[in-house]
Amino acid sequence: MTPKATLRFLHTADWHLGKKLNRFSRLEEQKAVLAELTKIADQYEVDGMLVAGDVFDSRNPSAEAKGLLTASLLALSKGGERPVLVIAGNHDSPELFEALASWGAPLGILLLGDLTQDLHALQGSFGKGFTLEVLEKGLIALSGSSWPFRCQFLLSPYMSPIRREGKEVASFWQDCWAAALQKASPEEPLVLLAHPYVRYDTADGSEELEEDLEERVLGGQEALSLGAFPEGLAYAALGHIHYPKPLRHEPYPVAYAGSLLQYSFGDRCIEKKALLVEVPRAGAAQVSFLPEGKGLNGGLPLLSFEVTSPEEAQEKCQTHPQAYLELVWAAPQAPSPELRRHLESLHPRLVHFLLKRISFSGGAPDAEVLAQMDQLDWLPLFEAFYEARKGHKPDETIKSIFKEVLNRALAKKSSQDYADTQ
């Protein structure tokens, strides 16, 4: 048998275990898609897993979500034969990662919650037949009898502004990466795992997903530019954005793996993927999205329909029972208050029954719509929306940010800027 020329990894991210769609648990679907991911890892005989953050949806995940994480990591690591490297994202608890780290190491699972987490205790024997060496904060090297060569990993978990001690994102990471690179061997490949917000070009027609906008706003993330990434890497495996997306190919590929499932209706047309990464002994990695020609078998479909009558709404409920359903009421007259309850009794997963939003696409809004907007009391509407989404009321900081954005939007409207922006 000829020795393998490359190390092969499967890159995934943004599992968001425990995330609900409105009130509906997605845990069974998450379980199914993680089983599929394990199958893909087996089928392609990957040498290791790269999990780039946001494995949980919450810093205080449920027992079921934690159980699914540990079971999935164990299956992916084949009990220690296939190393699994996991960094924390902005949704994860660094403390929980640190607590799980000593559990994972003998099983070939490395969890890094925070850059200051001391990995030295895990140094030495790792998993079954691997050796882990800590070279610098966040920089490790792994070797094993089944691997053709040693590989270095620059593990860069999400660091909150407090953990960055107020340092701005780009300069924080550039300093960390520069320090780590001094200790890295130029003779061995280096793979980066990180969870930043990198603004990407949507010129190819892909829109920013609702989830990603939320990650941008609520992650407290300033954007990192592609130019901030260090030179000389083989690959940068990113998490955070739910859209599977290669950001560039040269001089080495940088890519978001995307989320595990479609987590919002805005996300419903996006096929979910994992990335197969072939790391050579020297030079840049080759990457491709898996499964080929289709998405991961990600649970039930999310369907959204505009309806203009109770009969039409009822018909949509009855013809799509095996889906999550969003119905958007687009008739000029308001629906009767009983209609929602009736539709919920007809469909087990009616997620939203909404009134059609005022749309500004396709031309300036007419005077009547603008007059209606002036009469709205926005803050209570925002508070109710925020509470419905987050489960708690917005604090004063969030409210003041909202007021500032609102004031800017209203100022823009009154100055009739719309005509210029079309």
Nearest residue (CB) to Mn ion, 243 versus 329: 243
State in angstroms the smallest separation of the CB of 348 from Mn ion. 30
Which of 28-36, 53-61, 309-317, 337-345 is the region at the interface with Mn ion (rule: CB under 5 A)?
Answer: 53-61
From the CB of 245, what's the least distance to Mn ion, in Å? 14
List the one residue from 29, 47, 54, 278 that touches Mn ion (CB under 5 A): 54
With the CA atoms of 48, 52, 55 and 57 taken in that order, what torsion angle do they form, in degrees rounded to the nearest 10? -170
Structure-block tokens of residue 292? 């080929």
Secondary structure of residue 351 in the 3-state scheme: strand
Report which DSSP code applies to 283.
S
Using DSSP bridges, classify how beta strands 48-51 and 84-87 pair: parallel, antiparallel or unpaired.
parallel
- Toward Mn ion, which CB reaches closer, 47 or 114? 114
Nearer to Mn ion, 11 or 240 (CB): 240
CA max distance for the chain: 76
With CA atoms as reference, report the closest residue to 217 among 194, 201, 197, 243.
197
Q: Which stretch binds Mn ion (CB under 5 A): 46-54, 303-311, 390-398, 401-409?
A: 46-54
**CB-nearer residue toward Mn ion: 29 or 54:** 54
Nearest distance, CB of residue 334 and Mn ion, angstroms: 38
Q: H/E element holding 85?
A: strand 84-87
β-pairing verdict for 139-144 and 130-136? antiparallel
**Which residue, 49 or 55, is less far from Mn ion as judged by CB?**
55
Q: Quote the least distance from Cβ 20 to Mn ion, whole Å.
A: 17
30 contacts: CB under 8 Å, gap ≥ 6: 15, 17, 68, 260, 261, 299
Nearest distance, CB of residue 91 and Mn ion, angstroms: 6
Unique residue bearing structure tokens 């495996």: 237
What's the Rg (C-alpha) of the chain? Answer: 23
CB of 136 to Mn ion, least distance (A): 25
Among 26, 240, 272, 349, binds Mn ion (CB under 5 A): 240
Q: Alpha-carbon distance 14 to 241, whole Å?
A: 8
- What's at 228, amino acid-wise? A
Residue nearer to Mn ion on the CB measure, 169 or 184: 169
Q: Which stretch binds Mn ion (CB under 5 A): 183-191, 234-242, 356-364, 392-400?
A: 234-242
140 CB-near residues (< 8 Å, 6+ apart): 110, 119, 132, 133, 134, 152, 153, 155
> CB of 96: closest distance to Mn ion in angstroms?
15
Choose one: 67-75, 108-116, 118-126, 237-245; the region binding Mn ion (CB under 5 A): 237-245
Nearer to Mn ion, 115 or 300 (CB): 115
Q: How are beta strands 130-136 and 302-307 bridged, if at all?
A: unpaired
Sign of the CA dihedral with 28 first, then 30, 33, and 37 last: negative
Sole window of 179-187, 233-241, 298-306, 386-394 interacting with Mn ion (rule: CB under 5 A): 233-241
Give the contact letters, 192-231, x = binds to Mn ion (CB under 5 A), - = no. -----------------------x----------------
Task: Report strand pairing: 286-290 vs 274-280.
Answer: antiparallel
Residue 107: DSSP 8-state: G
Question: Shortest distance, CB of residue 86 to Mn ion, whole angstroms?
Answer: 14
Residues 101, 112: Cα–Cα separation, whole Å: 7
Task: Select 19 or 273, whichever has its Cβ closest to Mn ion.
Answer: 19
Q: Of the listed pieces 82-90, 93-101, 177-185, 229-237, which binds Mn ion according to CB under 5 A?
A: 82-90
Query: Can you point out the beta strands (E) in 239-366?
Result: 245-248, 254-256, 274-280, 286-290, 302-307, 324-329, 350-355
Q: Which of residues 89-148 bind Mn ion (CB under 5 A)?
A: 89-90
Q: Which segment (85-93, 107-115, 283-291, 409-417) binds Mn ion by CB under 5 A?
A: 85-93
Binding site for Mn ion (CB under 5 A): 54, 89-90, 215, 240
